[in-house]
Structure 1
Amino acid sequence: MRTMLSTFLALLIDRPASHFWRRAAATALWAVAALATLPAAAQTPPFPGGPVTLIVPYAAGGLTDNLARALGQRLAERWGQPVIVDNRAGGGTVIGTAAAARAPADGKTLLVTSFGFTTNPFMMSHLPYKQSALEPLAMIAVAPAILFVHPSVPADDVPSLVKYIRTSGKPFSFASSGNGSSPHIGAELFASQIGVSIVHVPYKGNGPGLNDLIGGQVQGMFDSKAALAFVKAGKLKALGISSLKPSTLAPDLKPIAQSGVPELANFATASWFGVLVPEGTPKPIQSRLHADIRAVLDTPDMREAIDRAGVEPLPMTQAEFAAYLKSEAERWGPVIRDKNIRAD
């Protein structure tokens, strides 16, 4: 393009014309030549203008980390720039979340996080960051939980389980992946809505809790679709899923909210996975980041990665994601306070 413009301007100079036009053409030609000699570093780099870091407040290899890596890989391909996943596990997600809250608000540091972001303020009295220090950017996916019980429990659906828990005269035990975890708070919400108390048995992760459920040491647990393999083997029973509507994760399972138990008509619990940015990140940058993340989430290979992870994509606008997080806080705050739940 510069060559064509130079040729045109040279012809213009050679044409009989006024002194004014010859000088104007010569000035324009000089400007084009000067632009061509600018070093590459002086030219504006493509968005986002450098490497981007995805802070994940969980250990490598977990569900949130896997989703972050799948997202990061595809964003790097879209931007043509590095996207680095930085695992900052510890403190019940506090360490990584605090690091993201302190990061520059320039769009080059994002937080990929989950359920604990909305519940930690109710379970921890002194957080090293303000909740408002991070702004909702984009929802990635959700994972409603499945209600599993040991085969010895005399219930084959949610109504019969509720009746058994209410009338057995014995405490019903729920396993979870730890105090304050999504399975723990979900079980407490379930118990609260049907008006009973449960025995909560926390474990260090889902795996140990699931093993004891299979072994009959505990009676129930909210867990992911991966545990459905034990239902097929006859080692567990699946009674319902914790979404308000039927879920593609387990289409044969009726939502607990539609089980016919009036007290559970609004029962829902799910782990969510989303992206946040430091407060004050310019709105045009947020809009571009959101658009690029949504575009990546809509690609077939990213949808395949989400499906492999056992979660459901849940596209949202930024405003919808912010409203969702607000509703999560309103849902879980009273349960956490009422049961005096504290994180490990």
Structure 2
Amino acid sequence: MQSTPATTTTKYPDKPITVIVPFSAGGGLDLTARSLEKLAPKYLGQPLIVVNKPGGAGAIGWGELAGASPDGYTVGITGIDMLLLPLYGSAKYDYPTALTPIAQVAASPMVLAVQANKPWQTLDDLIKYAKKNPGELKFGHGGVGSFPHLLGEMFGQAASITIEQVPFSGAGEATAALLGGHVQLSFVNPMVVKEHMKNGTVRVLAVTGEQRISDPVLAQVPTFKEQGLDVILTNWYGVAVPKEMPVQVKNKLSEGFKAIITDPEFVKSMSNVGLKVEYLGPQESQTKWLADSQKLTKTLQDTGVLEKIKSQRK
């Protein structure tokens, strides 16, 4: 270790930085945090300590982040669910105003996955089955009001089918339930099911993005749009901090994370888990939060999900 000359102010950061992941290990937010962790010492000068705080569809972890000291030693991984929770009135904070984005790291559509031993080869097969057997299909997701739950409701409405919703405490658990045959379908992160597709345990029937996924394993999977269904929404992952952070600390974090995210080694590490790096700076991220918030509000109202969730919570 080289000794640094003493300065009158403490050099930031001078200790490890905690990064809160508001879901269990193995999901998209968790894998993003673990990829960032690898390069943090190089660009931030300190390690990142990943802490998983699952529960409440993300509300527990994001609530802790919003209430943390804005000293730069607590950051959190964000996803599109963060915009949804305040709309349900289920969050202690309005995250888009209680948090400040540092960067968008990546963007990813979700995929509709079923067990490969099931008879449905296409989305059409699944829809026909659901119409013949209403209410028989169970749909697993990471919590009431979570992004995958919203996609499940959108799919049910777009296809005019009835699906039973089964909430779990996170994406990892929902995927395990799908693999175990406890639920028949789930909207999951493509990177989470990629290995299961390769080894033949999972079949993917549709993608929620505007375009197909470029990854060779998933490239043959058509979008919902191609199959005539309006289920088009993309998840994203970012880094955010509590609102009142001093400008110099925020700038140091913004620069550090930008350097990590644009490093070819990081891009490759994300690509290995099926995630496409799409860096946005603090200002562009803020603009995106706003635009997506409006789109989600409209979707929630149009699908009747908002009413459903509010009545479920009573």
Q: What TM-score, normalized to structure 1?
A: 0.72
**Equivalent residue number for residue 309 of structure 2:** 340
**Equivalent residue number for residue 208 of structure 2:** 242
| 1:140–1:315 CA contact under 8 A, matched in 2 | yes
Unaligned 5+ segments in structure 1 are: 1-38
Over 3 Å counting, the alpha-carbon distance change for 1:202 and 1:283 in structure 2 is same
Question: Which structure has the highest helix share of the two?
Answer: 1
Which residue, 255, 263, 281 being the options, matches 1:299?
263
AA paired with 2:98? A
Aligned-pair CA distance for 1:257: 1.8
Which residue, 197, 200, 209 being the options, matches 2:162?
197
Q: How far apart, in 2, do the equivalents of 1:231 and 1:273 lie?
A: 23
**Equivalent residue number for residue 320 of structure 1:** 284
| 1:113–1:273 CA contact under 8 A, matched in 2 | yes
List, as ranges, runs of 4+ consecutive aligned residues in structure 1 with deviation greater than 6 Å.
Answer: none
Q: How far apart, in 2, do the equivalents of 1:90 and 1:218 lie?
A: 20
* Root-mean-square deviation (Å): 3.3
Aligned-pair CA distance for 1:123: 3.4
- Note the alpha carbon deviations across 1:112-155, whole angstroms, 9 max, x for none: 23343122213344x33332111122111233222123457664
**Equivalent residue number for residue 148 of structure 1:** 113
| 1:54–1:72 CA contact under 8 A, matched in 2 | no
AA paired with 2:223? P
AA paired with 2:309? N
| 2:84–2:147 CA contact under 8 A, matched in 1 | no
Q: How far apart, in 1, do the equivalents of 2:58 and 2:280 lie?
A: 24
Residue 238 of structure 1 aligns to a residue in which SS? strand
Q: How far apart, in 1, do the equivalents of 2:232 and 2:188 lie?
A: 13
Q: How far apart, in 1, do the equivalents of 2:9 and 2:152 lie?
A: 53
Percent identity, aligned pairs only, is 24
Unaligned 5+ segments in structure 2 are: none
| 2:76–2:239 CA contact under 8 A, matched in 1 | yes
Aligned-pair CA distance for 1:41: 3.1
**Equivalent residue number for residue 279 of structure 1:** 243
Superposition pairs for residues 212-227 of structure 1, below 5 Å? 213=178, 218-225=183-190, 226-227=192-193
| 1:54–1:68 CA contact under 8 A, matched in 2 | no
**Equivalent residue number for residue 129 of structure 1:** 93
Aligned-pair CA distance for 1:291: 3.0
Q: How far apart, in 1, do the equivalents of 2:176 and 2:40 lie?
A: 37
**Equivalent residue number for residue 152 of structure 2:** 187
Superposition pairs for residues 1-344 of structure 1, below 5 Å? 40-43=5-8, 48-51=12-15, 53-58=17-22, 61-63=25-27, 64-125=29-90, 127-131=91-95, 132-150=97-115, 155-165=120-130, 167-168=131-132, 170-171=134-135, 172-206=137-171, 209-210=174-175, 213=178, 218-225=183-190, 226-232=192-198, 235-249=201-215, 250-259=218-227, 261=228, 263-264=229-230, 267-283=231-247, 285-333=249-297, 334=300, 335=303, 336-340=305-309
AA paired with 1:197? T
